[in-house]
């Protein structure tokens, strides 16, 4: 029996993987089932953004939230910090001086552990350049570098959404086997091995679709809406 439904945001609740605009049908579907399931958000966004989205989506107060790619968990208004504070904002400021075009995202000042930057260049190339600079700083073993498709992320190496989902299940007293998780990107891959029902939208990355238990036939928000209405009640 499903006790908890966890939803990624960018690329999952949005219209597609190239926009931050939320899909209205996905939001409507969430509101339709909110009285029957505990629903939470799991995202790389800052906690303040995640809190705001939770309220405007229509989730009840105290709903479970995971922010900064697993570094922060909030449940029933209590905040749990899971990551080591490596002062990555200072590292980011150094990187911005070394790499032309690298600049902070709009959430930069509201983040503590997972720091986001943006540059107008190929994501894979950007990750490689940043990793090379971190090796020069002697930080390559302590900092994970990734690109969500929306921004470059610098976060403590031992942090992940999977770690946070396990922690959340523990404080909620819920078996991870009874959890549905829907995502779209490589930052969601490890969660597929933690929950009972790992779900990938149809336009998810290839690696996520390989690891997911269920692959939807519709993309992003449309896939979420279809799953919540037509498949979730059967689980």
Check 8, 10, 23, 226 and give the catalytic one. Answer: 8
- pLDDT for 153-169, tens place per residue? 999 999 999 999 999 99
Q: Indicate if 8 belongs to the active site.
A: yes
- pLDDT for 4-45, tens place per residue? 999 999 999 999 999 999 999 999 999 999 999 999 999 999
Is 88-156 assigned to CATH 3.20.20.10? no
Residue 78, pLDDT > 90, answer yes
- pLDDT for 79-96, tens place per residue? 999 999 999 999 999 999
Whole-model pTM: value is 0.95
CA 64 to chain centre: 13
Whole-number Cα distances in Å, 164 to 27, 91, 128, 181:
24, 24, 27, 13
* Cα diameter, the chain: 53
The fold of the 4-82+159-234 domain, in CATH, is: Rossmann fold (3.40.50)
Q: Where in the chain are the domains?
A: 4-82+159-234, 88-156
pLDDT score recorded for residue 17: 93
pLDDT score recorded for residue 38: 97
- pLDDT for 120-151, tens place per residue? 989 889 999 999 999 999 999 999 998 888 89
């Amino acid at each position: 029996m499903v006790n908890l439904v966890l939803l990624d945001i960018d690329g999952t609740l949005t219209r597609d993987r190239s926009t931050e605009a939320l899909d209205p049908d996905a939001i409507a579907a969430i509101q339709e089932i909110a009285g029957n399931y505990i629903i939470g958000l799991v995202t790389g966004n800052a906690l303040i953004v995640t809190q705001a989205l939770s309220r405007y989506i229509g989730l009840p107060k105290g709903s479970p939230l995971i922010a900064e790619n697993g570094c922060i968990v909030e449940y029933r208004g209590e905040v749990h910090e899971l990551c080591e504070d490596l002062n990555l904002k200072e590292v980011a400021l150094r990187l911005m001086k070394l790499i032309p075009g690298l600049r902070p995202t709009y959430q930069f000042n509201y983040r503590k552990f997972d720091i986001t930057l943006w540059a107008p260049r190929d994501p894979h190339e950007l990750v490689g350049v940043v990793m090379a600079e971190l090796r020069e700083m002697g930080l390559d073993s302590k900092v994970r570098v990734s690109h969500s498709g929306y921004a470059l992320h610098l976060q403590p190496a031992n942090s992940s959404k999977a770690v946070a989902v396990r922690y959340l299940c523990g404080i909620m007293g819920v078996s991870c086997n009874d959890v549905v998780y829907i995502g779209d990107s490589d930052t969601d891959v490890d969660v597929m091995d933690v929950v009972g029902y790992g779900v990938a939208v149809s336009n998810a990355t290839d690696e996520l679709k390989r690891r997911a238990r269920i692959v939807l036939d519709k993309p992003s928000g449309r896939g979420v809406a279809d799953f919540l209405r037509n498949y979730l009640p059967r689980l």
